[in-house]
Amino acid sequence: MLERHEYLATLRDSVANIAAVAEGNLLRPVPACPNWTMSHLVWHCTRVHDAMVQIVADKVQGFDKLRPYKRVGDDVLVATFTSGADKLLDVLEATPIDEEIWSWVGPAHAMWAVRRMTQETMVHAWDAATAVGPASRMPASMASDGIDEFLHNFLRLQREAMPAPGGSVHIHCTDVNGEWLIDEPEPGNVVVTREHAKGTCAIRGSASQLLLVLWRRQPLSTVEVIGATDVAQRLIERTAL
């Protein structure tokens, strides 16, 4: 895990990037997010940021307890997004990092929210960039942290009726420190360890590429797979995103 100031700096940059790209482009489709326009993406980020403010600042205990947030018109959407993001940043900066909050993975500290909002918004900033042209790579150290955050927060969220990977998967960043072994010794018991170890297959690439593959923003073919490609593909497809 990185330091809070590092996360918040990336979060600020991601918010600024989304706002800059979205202005005047709200009707554009977002290739990275099928069936979404830029307007959908910005509204999604606005709602997610508001939800986390409620969870951290108001100690809301669960998604079903959140106050409704009425959809705003596109004419004020970008401004609403940026003002809400400013409020989120203030809350995440002011709250002690060890203060306990609710999370879907169980009781967590406020630092969990700092990390989750940074990673969420960084990936959506990449999404937004694809609506107007090629998107650049995410910073390697932050993307490597994003892989770790994904593996520990999202692998347990599994799509119904999807088969288990059927083997272990080693993920290896080639441009920055970051290696993990994912195994499922029994159905539903996903074990993630940070180590260099041989798996049934290995997925190798830059941290940014690997993070995008895990989020199903780019196909598995954009990175190197060694060993059982079908095992790697099932791991990628199984997560409920």
Looking at the domain 4-134, which fold is it? Four Helix Bundle (Hemerythrin (Met), subunit A) (1.20.120)
**Helix, strand and coil percent figures for the chain, each rounded to 5:** 50, 15, 35
CA distance 138 to 83: 24
Question: CATH number of the domain at 141-238, out of 3.40.50.300, 3.50.50.60, 3.30.1050.10, 2.40.50.100?
Answer: 3.30.1050.10
The predicted structure's pLDDT at residue 79: 98
Q: Output the pLDDT for position 13.
A: 98
Residue 170 pLDDT: 98
d(Cα 40, Cα 47) in Å, to the nearest integer? 11
Per residue of the chain (241 residues), give pLDDT as tens.
999 999 999 999 999 999 999 999 999 999 999 999 999 999 999 999 999 999 999 999 999 999 999 999 999 999 999 999 999 999 999 999 999 999 999 999 999 999 999 999 999 999 999 999 999 999 999 999 999 999 999 998 888 888 889 999 999 999 999 999 999 888 778 999 999 999 999 999 999 999 999 999 999 999 999 999 999 999 999 998 8
Within 8 A by CB and 6+ apart from 174, the residues are 204, 205, 206
- Helices 110-129, 207-214: axis angle to 10 degrees equals 90
Extents of the domains making up the chain: 4-134, 141-238
pLDDT of residue 186: 83
